[in-house]
Amino acid sequence: MNQATLVLVKPDGLKKSLTGNILTRLSETKLEIVATKMARVSRELAADHYRHLKGKPFFDDVVKYLQGEFHDRRKVMAMVYWGNDAIKKVRDIAGSTNPEEADPVSIRGSYGRITTHGVFENVIHASSDEKDAEREIKLWFKPEDIIVDLYPTKEAVIKDLKTKSWA
């Protein structure tokens, strides 16, 4: 069954210059990339992305981590991968959440670490099920940023919208 899944190269992945490596590893899946962008991450976006962790002792730290506060890289690379069984295929290559427990040949097992603060710096995010994938993709991307029709859309006419175009 075709599925979409959100992948983020987190700030530690960017700082360690792992983007090319991660894309190469994920290309083993034969999935299609249907959206990609570099994104600045506001506190609101990071907290919304990790809202299922609210109340955990490490919540504030993972929000700061995603914002790039620990890596001097205030951005992430966001992508939507699409194709048969996409969620599991990407999660398998990403590896388990805890990089010390992750399969050593997975991305997280190869490149992740646990900091002295106890944050799992695990290089990439990958959606864990279809419900999460839909929520996360809608959080990070607008419909027109994605080159396939994933979810229902509605038309909106926005009056007096201030926007930028090339000068």
Specify whether the CB–CB gap between 47 and 63 falls below 8 A.
Answer: yes
* Residue 5 in contact with ligand IDP, rule: CB under 6 A: no
* Strand ranges across the sheet with 76-84: 32-39, 76-84, 2-9, 124-126
Query: Could you tell me how many residues of this chain bind Mg ion (CB under 5 A)?
Result: 1
Exactly one of 22, 79, 125, 136 binds ligand IDP (CB under 6 A); which one? 125
Specify whether the CB–CB gap between 138 and 151 falls below 8 A.
Answer: yes
Closest CA to 145 of 2, 4, 1, 19: 4
62 or 78: whose CB is closer to ligand IDP?
62
Stretch that binds ligand IDP, among 13-21, 31-39, 119-127, 147-155 (CB under 6 A): 119-127
Exactly one of 58, 64, 85, 92 binds ligand IDP (CB under 6 A); which one? 58
Specify whether the CB–CB gap between 69 and 12 falls below 8 A.
Answer: no
List residues near ligand IDP by CB under 6 A: 50, 53, 58, 62, 97, 118-120, 122, 125, 128
